[in-house]
Structure 1
Amino acid sequence: MLKIERQNAILQEVRAFQQVKSSALSNMFEVSEDTIRRDLYELEEYGHLKRVHGGAVVPSYIPSFKKREVQEIETKHLIAKKALPLIEEGQVLIIDGGTSNLQLVNLLPTDISLTVFTNSIPAASKLCEFANIDSVLMGGNILRKGYTTVGHQALDSLADIHADICFVGITSIDDQIGLTEANQPEAIVKRAIINASDKVVTLAISSKIGTKQAFKVGPIDCLDVLITELSPTHSLLEPYQQQGYTVL
């Protein structure tokens, strides 16, 4: 099979299933994973797909919350454990939507006293189990794919909040482009969450690093702490270390 024929076939798979794995494509076309990675790189350069860790997705594809909740669950648990020491008794927090942030809520000590504002419906439901947490679910239109609230009601709520720390969920992070999202109303709310907080933290699986989406949340310097599953000394995190951000 010629390269152009293989790449056209790869695009058919991506469009049919929304996401593909490099290992499966390697077996399907009987070529090495390195060959598949080069194919995916070329196809991304032309805007036909977006590379992610282990494969590719269609450019606008973001899996549903239910699908994301069970993807790489152990990795998200590890990232949330790294974030937990940042939370101190009596703080005011904003916890944004996202499956990694939900893992953080799951790990909160049962007796901790906090005030938590959230636009995440699953996080708000879990926070109801904590006797000493004063939790507030911000209103607004429901973004079904993310189980979060967006729109002017959420923005109005954030205008009255001054949080010690926020945990903002981000789809894509790049040390030059900054923080970006695929959905504009969601990007606007995340920007307001950042503006309402003294410290900005994001919990991100490493496959999000070096990627970009259509709508800008903010420049990279709006971020104070970046937490991934990688060692802080990993080469992928070096640009963030060099720019002075805390990397955990």
Structure 2
Amino acid sequence: MLTQQRKHLLLDTLRREGRIVAADLSATLGLSEDTIRRDLRALAAQGLLQRVHGGALPASPAVANFAARSQLQMPGKQAIAAAAAAMVQPGQVMFIDGGTTCQQLALRLPPTLQATVVTHSPTIALALVEHPRIEVQLLGGRLFKHSVVAVGAATVEAIGRVRADLYFMGVTGISARVGLSTGDMEEAHVKRALMAQSAETWVLASAEKLHAASPYVIAPCSEATGLVVEPGTTDQAVAALTALGLALVRG
């Protein structure tokens, strides 16, 4: 089998089954695991999949820059945002992550809501400028332009001085096997710090992020409180995640 034929077969398997197990595919195709791993490395370098121990998972399309992500699954993100906004109680302190779904959440917080939003995202802060009753605390640090968020030691230190009731987390990958992941190491550090300082962590999980993986793991899925998913998400689609104890809220 030619190299290009093998790669097409690998991608077809990934689309059909949602993952690649190198040992199983080796036995099925009569190819060495070394050959399959070499092909997986090449496909990962092209951004077509994410290698994990023993095989591969789909690469999340949510690692694109902020402008490109703004065009992904907008109706689904809006439904998730509305459901998340309805979870907030008066007087609560919440962390809101950066990202396009979190931006939609900020825009949907009720005008009568009195609460405090702590964020490392200038985009989230700007979305709340006209909100009459929400106090906004903007955390500083080095601006990571790709995601329009502050990162670095100064950001993590500032997070450590806050105790939040809720953290609405944005990720680029959610996998029962790999965990919650993102495309940048410093962002992963910041998200871990936000989780550690929050009583509850709710992951905003649009469809393209489910069962996908990105290079940098934030935490095991079981460390989050739950997922907020799109209205049409089936129980089967999230069964592996709810089996870990995650609560589920549909948009």
In 1, Cα distance between the equivalents of 2:161 and 2:13?
Answer: 53
- Whether the aligned pair in 2 keeps the contact of 1:206 and 1:230 (CA below 8 Å) is no
- Whether the aligned pair in 2 keeps the contact of 1:84 and 1:107 (CA below 8 Å) is yes
What letter corresponds to residue 214 of structure 1 in structure 2? P
Q: CA RMSD in A?
A: 3.1
In 2, Cα distance between the equivalents of 1:170 and 1:234?
Answer: 21
> C-alpha deviations, 1:15-37, integer Å up to 9, x for none?
xxxxxxx9xxxxxxxxxxx6994
TM-score (norm 1): 0.79
In 1, Cα distance between the equivalents of 2:91 and 2:62?
Answer: 39
Other structure's SS at 1:115 match:
strand
In 1, Cα distance between the equivalents of 2:77 and 2:243?
Answer: 25
- After superposition, residues 184-195 of structure 1 pair within 5 angstroms as 184-195=185-196
In 1, Cα distance between the equivalents of 2:139 and 2:8?
Answer: 45
| 1:164 Cα deviation from its structure 2 partner | 0.3
Q: 2:241 — aligned with what? A: 240
- Whether the aligned pair in 1 keeps the contact of 2:202 and 2:224 (CA below 8 Å) is yes
Q: Percent identity?
A: 26
| 1:236 Cα deviation from its structure 2 partner | 1.5
- Whether the aligned pair in 2 keeps the contact of 1:41 and 1:51 (CA below 8 Å) is no
Other structure's SS at 1:165 match:
strand
TM-score (norm 2): 0.78
1:157 aligns with 2:158: yes
> C-alpha deviations, 1:144-178, integer Å up to 9, x for none?
01000001111111010000000011111111221
Number of equivalences: 222
In 2, Cα distance between the equivalents of 1:129 and 1:221?
Answer: 36
In 2, Cα distance between the equivalents of 1:225 and 1:197?
Answer: 13
| 1:87 Cα deviation from its structure 2 partner | 0.6
Q: 2:93 — aligned with what? A: 92
Q: 1:183 — aligned with what? A: 184
| 1:5 Cα deviation from its structure 2 partner | 4.4
Q: 1:137 — aligned with what? A: 138
> C-alpha deviations, 1:38-74, integer Å up to 9, x for none?
6x9779971314359xxx76x9982110111122111
1:46 aligns with 2:40: yes
- Whether the aligned pair in 2 keeps the contact of 1:113 and 1:132 (CA below 8 Å) is yes
Relative to 1, partners in 2 of residues 1:37 and 1:241: Cα closer, same or farther, differing over 3 Å?
closer
- Whether the aligned pair in 1 keeps the contact of 2:99 and 2:147 (CA below 8 Å) is yes
In 2, Cα distance between the equivalents of 1:217 and 1:153?
Answer: 19
Structure 1 runs not aligned, ≥5 long: 11-21, 23-33
| 1:119 Cα deviation from its structure 2 partner | 0.9
In 1, Cα distance between the equivalents of 2:40 and 2:124?
Answer: 38
1:77 aligns with 2:78: yes
1:128 aligns with 2:129: yes
Other structure's SS at 2:131 match:
coil
In 1, Cα distance between the equivalents of 2:90 and 2:162?
Answer: 18
> C-alpha deviations, 1:182-228, integer Å up to 9, x for none?
21110000000000100000101122122222222111121101111
In 1, Cα distance between the equivalents of 2:150 and 2:88?
Answer: 24
Relative to 1, partners in 2 of residues 1:5 and 1:178: Cα closer, same or farther, differing over 3 Å?
closer
- Whether the aligned pair in 1 keeps the contact of 2:13 and 2:19 (CA below 8 Å) is no
What letter corresponds to residue 81 of structure 1 in structure 2? A
